[in-house]
């Protein structure tokens, strides 16, 4: 595989850039800065950047076809959100009884459901019921819990045929693969897909048309491309230590967008990483897949 070529490092200095997605109709890339309560949209062709303030920390979102609304996971739960008007309609807050947890990574699957997992943000859980979980929204009037027992859920993505789903527990440095039933949304046959070295956490991911998994690795200054069998195919080294999420897009879906973070970096580290928090755009020889639209 040819080494990705840097096209642009967009100087947005995000505290915690995340949830990056390419919107094909708009030919624009969207992402959130969770801790700064901001949502960004960038048009590469015009080089125009739009930024909205969000009512709470926006962790993840998905597009709704022919709509200005987004399906969203705010820190407190699922909602419909219109960034242009600021209007938010809560759908479900399944962990409102767990003040130490917040929602984190999420995506729309190919069946049109929105998925999001939580993370333990503060304290030590006293039981599995207080640990992080994975939920879906779209098949029933309430959010459905599918998995629990995690510290920080991350890296959620599906194989091109939707028969395999990938999910990481970042602090453990373990990336799991599960068999997935697209009709029911059920997980089974959990196995270890990949492991990261100590102090490097698997973060946000996407899958390309060949089924390879591209994973941003927090603390590792890199994005790693794995084969469907978990073999390392390529490592993209970055000038920042905290890559957070990846998505394919651009005119032919060969561009890789990578969000990054400045969170928890000391002044000396920020001086050594002046591009920390930027959005990076790389040209690759991979073929990405379009983001799926939410269908209620």
> Mind giving me the DSSP string for 116-170?
EEEEE-SS--SSGGGSEEEEEESSSSS-EEEEEEESBEEEEEE-TTSSEEEEEEG
CA–CA dist 87, 79 (Å, integer): 10
pLDDT at 139 over 80: no
pLDDT over 80 (residue 127): no
Give me the catalytic one of 75, 109, 169, 203: 203
Q: pLDDT category, 90, cuts 50, 70, 90?
A: very high
Write the pLDDT tens digit of every residue in 3-23: 999 999 999 999 999 999 999
Computed over every residue of the chain, the mean pLDDT equals 96
All structural domains of the chain, each given as residue ranges with its CATH number in brackets, are 5-283 (2.120.10.30)
Per-residue model confidence (pLDDT) at position 125: 79
The CA angle 292-295-296, to the nearest 5 degrees, is 150
The pairing of beta strand 101-108 with beta strand 88-92? unpaired
User: Tens of pLDDT along 197-229?
Assistant: 999 999 999 999 999 999 999 999 999 999 999
DSSP for residue 89: E
In this prediction, residue 276 carries a pLDDT of 98
Distance from C-alpha of 274 to C-alpha of 240, rounded to nearest angstrom: 8
- pLDDT at residue 221, as a whole number: 98
Is residue 161 among the annotated active site residues?
no
Count CB neighbours of 160 within 10 A.
Answer: 15
- The answer to whether residue 120 scores a pLDDT higher than 80 is yes
User: Residue 178: is its pLDDT beyond 90?
Assistant: yes
Q: Model confidence over 256-291: pLDDT tens digits?
A: 999 999 999 999 999 999 999 999 999 999 999 999
Neighbours of 214 (CB within 10 A): 26
- Per-residue confidence band for 128, with pLDDT thresholds at 50, 70 and 90: confident
Q: Give the C-alpha separation, 141 to 263, whole Å.
A: 36
180-189 burial code (b ≥16 CB/10 A, e <16): beeeebebee
Instruction: Decide if pLDDT at 129 tops 90.
Output: no
The side-by-side arrangement of strands in the sheet containing 38-43 is 17-23, 28-33, 38-43, 48-53
pLDDT-derived band at 124, boundaries 50, 70, 90: confident
The per-residue pLDDT for 140 is 76
CB proximity list for 138: less than 8 A, separation 6 or greater: 112, 113, 114, 294, 295, 296
Q: Kindly state the average pLDDT of the residues 231-260.
A: 98
User: What mean pLDDT is predicted for residues 82-103?
Assistant: 96
- What proportion of the chain, given as a percentage, has pLDDT over 90? 94
Q: Token digits for 172?
A: 């453990």
pTM confidence score:
0.97
Token code pair at residue 242: 């905290």
Where residue 1 falls among pLDDT bands split at 50, 70, 90?
A: confident
Residues in contact with 292: Cβ distance below 8 Å, sequence separation at least 6, in sequence order: 62, 107, 108, 109, 110, 112
Asked if pLDDT for residue 49 goes beyond 80, the answer is yes
What is the rounded distance in angstroms from the CA atom of residue 153 to the CA atom of residue 182?
20
């Amino acid at each position: 595989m040819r080494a990705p070529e840097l096209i642009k490092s967009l100087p947005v200095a995000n505290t915690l850039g995340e949830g990056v997605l390419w919107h094909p109709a708009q030919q624009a890339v969207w992402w959130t800065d969770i801790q700064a309560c901001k949502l960004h949209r960038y048009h590469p062709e015009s080089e125009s950047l739009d930024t909205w303030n969000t009512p709470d920390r926006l962790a993840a979102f998905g597009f709704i076809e022919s709509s200005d609304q987004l399906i969203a996971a705010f820190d407190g739960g699922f909602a419909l959100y219109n960034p242009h008007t600021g209007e938010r309609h809560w759908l479900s807050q399944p962990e409102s009884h767990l003040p130490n947890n917040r929602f984190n990574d999420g995506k729309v699957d190919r069946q049109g459901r929105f998925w999001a997992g939580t993370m333990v943000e503060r304290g030590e859980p006293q039981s599995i019921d207080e640990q992080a979980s994975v939920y879906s929204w779209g098949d029933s009037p309430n959010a459905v819990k599918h998995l629990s027992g995690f510290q920080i859920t991350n890296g959620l993505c599906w194989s091109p045929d939707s028969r395999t789903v990938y999910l990481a527990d970042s602090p453990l440095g373990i990336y799991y693969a599960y068999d997935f039933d697209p009709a029911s949304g059920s997980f089974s046959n959990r196995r270890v897909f990949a492991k990261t070295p100590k102090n490097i956490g698997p973060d946000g991911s996407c899958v390309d048309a060949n089924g390879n998994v591209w994973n941003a690795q927090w603390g590792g200054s890199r994005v790693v491309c794995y084969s469907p069998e978990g073999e390392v195919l390529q490592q993209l080294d970055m000038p920042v230590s905290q890559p957070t999420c990846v998505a394919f897009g651009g005119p032919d879906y060969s561009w890789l967008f990578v969000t990054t973070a400045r969170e928890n970096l000391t002044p000396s580290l920020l001086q050594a990483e002046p591009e920390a928090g930027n959005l990076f755009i790389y040209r690759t020889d991979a073929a990405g897949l379009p983001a799926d639209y939410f269908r209620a």
